[in-house]
Amino acid sequence: MSFESLGLQAPLVRAAAELGLQVPTPVQAASIPAILHGTDLQGQAQTGSGKTAAFALPLLQRLQQGAQGASRRPAALVLVPTRELAAQAGEVLRSLARHLPRRPRIAVVFGGVSINPQMMGLRGGAEVVVATPGRLLDLVERNALKLDGVTLLVLDEADRLLDLGFADELGRVLALLPPRRQNLFFSAAFPPAVQALASALLRDPLRVDIPPEPGHEPAIAQKAITVDAQRRTQLLRHLVKQEGWQRALVFVATKHTADKVAEKLYRAGIYATAFHGDLSQGARTQVLDEFKAERWELVITTDLAARGIDIAQLPVVVNYDLPRSPVDYVHRIGRTGRAGETGLAVSFVSASSEAHFRLIEKRQGLSLPREQVPGFEPTEPVVVPPATGPGGIKGRRPSKKDKLRAAAAEAAARPGD
């Protein structure tokens, strides 16, 4: 199958080929003809499935067909949850548009940086706006743009938009849009709140649900290494040297830990740096660019980087701290093994996190052998609380029943008195 056969015009096909997009991915093959036809879409596809191009290509073609008003008010609006995703989607749109006879102006706006350059940038108008919801509303309030000409709305990573608490802003943006428009709704998952939003927004949508094809799911090898919690930084350093890791993304629980671990490793001669929400936007962009350019061996991050950031050829992901939620485990390891490459996901499991890792394994239908690295064998005894039935999420307070069960187990374990 080719991109032409999906109904795309030559300039777009050519630009796609130049980006290495020769054969449509399943989500592209299923979505592009329907989007070109004007149909609403509800898309559930795995990270790395090619969904950005799946909406960007037909969006650009539809803009070519539509009458472009002299006002240059945005006709297409792409809402995304994070600055990084906004920058990425903007880049893909610009690259794909480069051979079009009428190249649309594409504005990318997001919070965390000064608003003035973005206001200036919008002066000449823009046909496509890629935005995070909060900054978009600020710009509307300052009369930097009007949304009453939007005929095509894309919500990308809608689950994440809601997770990040953008529900209010989203509602306010939607209220500013004209009611007659095409809506494209992408989400990695459809829990009830996300499905409710999709159902409220979409009219007679085509549902595109792309399960990973057998044999085509990312080839991610998963490993669990047991180690004492206080030796994890040393183990990380050892593995980088021993395994010759050129680049790895390391997840920790807090910004403070990210800074601390990065600093320790850097002092130990490893090119490591931290990436988290306390950095300025400029610093964040710089770290990502430098990581892509192989300036850094390790980037230590929080769950900020777990979703949506596409770093091609990222070979290794490390869970230094385990994610709180099993769902985040999937997002984290999905940073590697993208677009057909192979990847390695290593989780450090310490005595105190063993029980939580078992829960993650259970939820993911996994059972990983516990491996040890010579010289880093754990010495702390593993304490796994007695099974507490369903639930047992880390951080949950023990219920009365849990306490009674624990007391009974303790009494049973005591030598007879």
Of 138, 297, 310, 328, the residue at the interface with ligand AMP (CB under 6 A) is 310
55 versus 275: smaller Cβ distance to ligand AMP: 55
- Residue 20 CB, shortest distance to ligand AMP, in Å, is 6
User: Residue 387 burial by CB count (10 A; 0-12/13-18/19+): exposed, middle or buried?
Assistant: exposed
Tell me the two tokens of residue 100. 């079009």
For 114-121, the CB contacts below 8 A with 24+ separation are 115/139, 115/142, 118/144, 119/144
23 versus 175: smaller Cβ distance to ligand AMP: 23
- Residue 55 CB, shortest distance to ligand AMP, in Å, is 9
Binding mask 9-48 for ligand AMP (x = CB under 6 A): -----------xx-xxx--x-------------------x
Which range touches ligand AMP (CB under 6 A), out of 4-12, 50-58, 109-117, 132-140?
Answer: 50-58
Which positions ≥6 away from 282 have C-beta within 8 Å?
113
Paired residues of 250 in beta bridges: 300, 318
Tell me the two tokens of residue 272. 């490591």
- Residue 256 CB, shortest distance to ligand AMP, in Å, is 30
Going from the C-alpha of 7 to that of each of 4, 32, 58, 95, 410, the distances in angstroms are 5, 8, 9, 19, 68
Report the distance separating Cα 216 and Cα 243, nearest Å. 26
Could you tell me the sign of the dihedral formed by the alpha carbons of 252, 253, 257, 259, in that order? positive
48 versus 104: smaller Cβ distance to ligand AMP: 48
- Residue 282 CB, shortest distance to ligand AMP, in Å, is 23
Q: Is 273 in the site for ligand AMP (CB under 6 A)?
A: no
- Residue 267 CB, shortest distance to ligand AMP, in Å, is 34
Report the distance separating Cα 272 and Cα 245, nearest Å. 12
87 versus 122: smaller Cβ distance to ligand AMP: 87
Of 32, 34, 51, 247, the residue at the interface with ligand AMP (CB under 6 A) is 51
Of 10, 193, 219, 312, the residue at the interface with ligand AMP (CB under 6 A) is 312
Report the distance separating Cα 291 and Cα 294, nearest Å. 5
48 versus 205: smaller Cβ distance to ligand AMP: 48
- Residue 35 CB, shortest distance to ligand AMP, in Å, is 14
- Residue 311 CB, shortest distance to ligand AMP, in Å, is 9
228 versus 310: smaller Cβ distance to ligand AMP: 310
**H helices present in 149-248, as ranges:** 158-163, 167-176, 192-201, 232-243
How many residues sit close enough to ligand AMP to count as binding (CB under 6 A)?
16
Q: Is 53 in the site for ligand AMP (CB under 6 A)?
A: yes
Going from the C-alpha of 92 to that of each of 56, 236, 285, the distances in angstroms are 7, 34, 16
Q: Is 415 in the site for ligand AMP (CB under 6 A)?
A: no
SS3 305: helix
- Residue 50 CB, shortest distance to ligand AMP, in Å, is 3
How many CA atoms does the CB half-sphere of 312 hold within 13 Å? Answer: 7
Of 49, 183, 336, 347, the residue at the interface with ligand AMP (CB under 6 A) is 49
User: DSSP readout, 116-170?
Assistant: HHHHHHTTT--SEEEE-HHHHHHHHHTTS---TT--EEEE-SHHHHHHTT-HHHH
Going from the C-alpha of 228 to that of each of 9, 114, 180, 262, 378, the distances in angstroms are 57, 44, 58, 19, 5
Of 11, 26, 50, 90, the residue at the interface with ligand AMP (CB under 6 A) is 50
Instruction: Give residues 313-352 in contact with ligand AMP (rule: CB under 6 A).
Output: 338-339
Could you tell me the sign of the dihedral formed by the alpha carbons of 177, 178, 184, 185, in that order? positive
Q: Is 118 in the site for ligand AMP (CB under 6 A)?
A: no
- Residue 135 CB, shortest distance to ligand AMP, in Å, is 22
Report the distance separating Cα 258 and Cα 250, nearest Å. 9
- Residue 80 CB, shortest distance to ligand AMP, in Å, is 11
Rounded (10°) CA dihedral 148, 149, 155, 156: -130
190 versus 348: smaller Cβ distance to ligand AMP: 190
231 versus 338: smaller Cβ distance to ligand AMP: 338
Give me the residues that bind ligand AMP (CB under 6 A), please: 20-21, 23-25, 28, 48-53, 310, 312, 338-339
